Amino acid sequence: GKQVAGIGNGMGLFLLIGGIYLLVIRQITWHIPVSFLLGSFGTALIFHQMNPEQFATPLFHILSGSTFLGAFFLATEHTTSPVNRIPMFLYGLLGGILLIIIRSFSVYYDGIAFTILLMNLFNPLLDRITPGVSGLEEVSHA
């Protein structure tokens, strides 16, 4: 109608439904979206508890559709996200934290694009965190 909004801000419920659909059909795993939402919620909660007059509530941040857009569709892009579980969780968690920091302390209304770009810079470092191969013993060549 009469309200102008991008898809990220105006269609939060539909983005959430689409994200759940991607989880159900196993197109994405839960690690990045859940940790992204937890990082966003936790950081927003800390900021809001420190100064409720300056910082928005955690629900405001989570229910803005661009958070769902970032958590389910942008951060889980297969070509730019980590491949192992621990790096996936850290990628999402740090992305959620960074999103709230950008939203709270920058001049930009929504920092989802900057968040995803910055997290993509950290992806090669996070991918170095790999689980060890089980069943193999270390051989000492002394």
pLDDT digits (tens, 9 = 90+) for 59-107: 999 988 789 999 999 999 988 899 889 999 999 999 999 999 999 998 8
Instruction: Please list, in sequence order, all residues whose beta carbon lies within 8 angstroms of the beta carbon of residue 138, skipping any fewer than 6 positions away.
Output: none
Residue 34 pLDDT: 97
Phi-psi region of 135 (alpha: psi -120 to 50; beta: other; left: phi over 0): left
User: Closest Cα to residue 94, out of 38, 45, 32, 39?
Assistant: 39
Q: How far apart are CA 97 and CA 99, in angstroms?
A: 5
Handedness of CA 41, 43, 46, 52 (dihedral sign): negative
Higher pLDDT: 2 or 118? It is: 118
Residue with tokens 């009469």, as numbered in its chain: 2
Residue 109 pLDDT: 76
Q: Are the C-beta atoms of 118 and 98 separated by less than 8 Å?
A: yes
Residue 90 pLDDT: 95
